[in-house]
Structure 1
Amino acid sequence: MIKLADIEHLQIVKASAADVYFALTTARGLSEVWTNELTVHEQVGAVNEFQFGTDDLTKMQIVELNPGERIEWLCIESDQEWVGTSITFELEEKKGKTHITFRHMDWKEVTGFYRFCNYNWAMFLYSLKLYCEEGQGMPYQRRKF
């Protein structure tokens, strides 16, 4: 059996799980955290669209929304290495902080793009932390790296 590659990160945010969930499931939150150019729905089965420049569109189908606990997306359109991969955010509130376990699962192989995305998902989680703690994230349009 072939083991597919996964990206995993843990981020701890000084915010409630409800606030983190809001940031990850609404157009307002995701426009501060990931990209300003987006179409976001808040229901299972819907497809969220995220634009990164003129030629880079990512579509994520919402698989699970468990308020304050878990979010799962399935990539249905993007770079070919992403199509068919799953992204999850597991939230656990402890002593006024939310522990976010992030996973981008089922990569077919570890490539240069996988490594690039691993770095960028860490920056996404940093942007999420900034937004939840300070009110302003670092979406694609404001990044300088």
Structure 2
Amino acid sequence: MTTDFTTGFTADRSPDEVFAAITDVRAWFSETVTGASAQVGDVFSFTDKAITSGRIRVTGLVPGRRVAWHVEDSDDEWDGTAMTFDIARGEGGTTLRFTHHGLTPASTCYQLCVRGWTACVNTSLHALITTGTGRPFPASVAP
């Protein structure tokens, strides 16, 4: 059985606030992000030593409910993989479930990528949503 990497959290914010934070990629993912990430068809790129470098296309947006990306080009096995951010209102707030489809325990970068995504999603994106300030990978780690 293949298991894609999934992580998430619940925050005391509205689904629309969570959605807005996800689409502000430079504020939580990497300071090296160039391009746009707020509309279907937008493409953004990033270059970091700490994480893979690549180009990602926004493939789906449902305000307050879902963001979907597809990796068009990367320095590693992310090529052709996809990421989804599923947003749902619950009793304890809004739950965000992030899945990197194609990132499985069989992937060479799995352990490193799990640490990276956990830091990006559970620490940086969570901070952006709850405090207004994310902790993206700094531009200083770019080549």
TM-score of the aligned structures, taking structure 2 as reference length:
0.84
- Which secondary structure does the structure 1 equivalent of 2:114 belong to? helix
| Alignment CA distance shift 1:60-1:142 (3 Å) | closer
Q: How far has the Cα of 1:56 moved from its partner?
A: 5.2
Paired amino acid for 1:21:
F
Q: Is the partner of 2:111 in helix, strand or coil?
A: helix
Note if contact 1:72-1:89 (Cα within 8 Å) is conserved in structure 2.
yes
- Per-residue deviation, residues 116-135 of structure 1 (Å, max 9, x unmatched): 11111111112111111112
- Report what 2:63 is aligned to: 67
* Residue in 2 that maps onto 1:12: 10
8 A Cα contact 2:4 2:104, kept in partner: no
> Is the aligned partner of 1:32 residue 2:27?
yes
What letter corresponds to residue 10 of structure 1 in structure 2?
A: G
Please, which runs of 5 or more residues in structure 1 have no aligned partner?
Answer: none
Equivalence for 1:48: 44
Count of matched residue pairs:
138
Deviation at 1:65, TM superposition (A): 0.4
2:73 aligned partner, one-letter code: E
Following the alignment from structure 1 to structure 2, what is the Cα–Cα distance between the partners of residues 48 and 63?
12
Q: Which residue of 1 aligns with 2:110?
A: 114
Offset at residue 112 of structure 1 (A): 4.3
